[in-house]
Chain A
Amino acid sequence: DVKVTQSSRYLVKRTGEKVFLECVQDMDHENMFWYRQDPGLGLRLIYFSYDVKMKEKGDIPEGYSVSREKKERFSLILESASTNQTSMYLCASSYRGTGELFFGEGSRLTVL
């Protein structure tokens, strides 16, 4: 069974804390993505990576950074969490080309 695993389903952090969201896939996919989902706004792309150590900004990269040191792992980092980063974060992966995305179960982050 193919799998995308996100490290935490629920997190509560304080404003200013550094937050790491980890995503691991076992399908040898080249592409990996981080999205956030907010009511009425759908999935908005934060960053994506099409290869190890490669990254590209999506539509809303401000306040986030990413790391892809190994093919199977894509980390999203909030250097200094703010309340407007309270959201559901979804990781996904796919083969290069038109391949479908496989999603993790999501990480719901609350920043107080």
Chain B
Amino acid sequence: ILNVEQSPQSLHVQEGDSTNFTCSFPSSNFYALHWYRWETAKSPEALFVMTLNGDEKKKGRISATLNTKEGYSYLYIKGSQPEDSATYLCAFMGYNNNDMRFGAGTRLTVKP
């Protein structure tokens, strides 16, 4: 079983705070790393698909970095808003590229 670890498990921040979470994954056999946002009562939706070491992706106030050699990725949210409240999942895809393993997620709550 591939171990994909996310930390912290949950996070409570005030509106306007910036925050970041970590995803660690096996550094060998890497093919891709995905980030998803999962809001309550909805389906998970993809934020980023990352494949290259050193990759940095950005979508509005959310960005992510990738280090495949040491096996970690960071997700940053700048100026958190209540609508950012969700569970953020990372998923590791190994080189056989047919399966995908998820971490347990980081549950973010942003208080107005």
A interface list, Cβ under 8 A from B? 4, 31, 33, 35, 40-45, 48, 50, 56, 58-59, 90, 94, 96-106
Contacts and interface: CB of A to CB of B under 8 A. Distances in A.
Nearest to B104: A42
A41 B104 contact: yes
Interface in B64-112: 89, 91, 93, 97-105
Interface string B25-37: 0000001101010
Interface residues of B, number: 26
A59 B3 CA distance: 11
B104 A101 contact: no
A96 B97 CA distance: 8
B97 A98 contact: yes
Contacts of A35: 102
B62 interface: no
B1 A59 contact: yes
Contacts, number: 62
Contact of B102 (A40, A43, A96, A105): A43
B100 to A, nearest CB: 7
Contact of A101 (B6, B31, B46, B103): B46
Give the interface centre of B32, B34, B98 by most chain A CB atoms within 10 Å.
B98
15 contacts: A4-B43, A40-B9, A42-B102, A42-B105, A45-B101, A48-B98, A48-B99, A58-B99, A97-B97, A100-B34, A100-B46, A101-B34, A101-B44, A103-B44, A104-B43
Contacts of A98: 31-32, 49, 51, 93, 97
Give the interface centre of A41, A97, A105 by most chain B CB atoms within 10 Å.
A97
Contacts of A59: 1, 101
Contact of B43 (A31, A42, A44, A106): A106
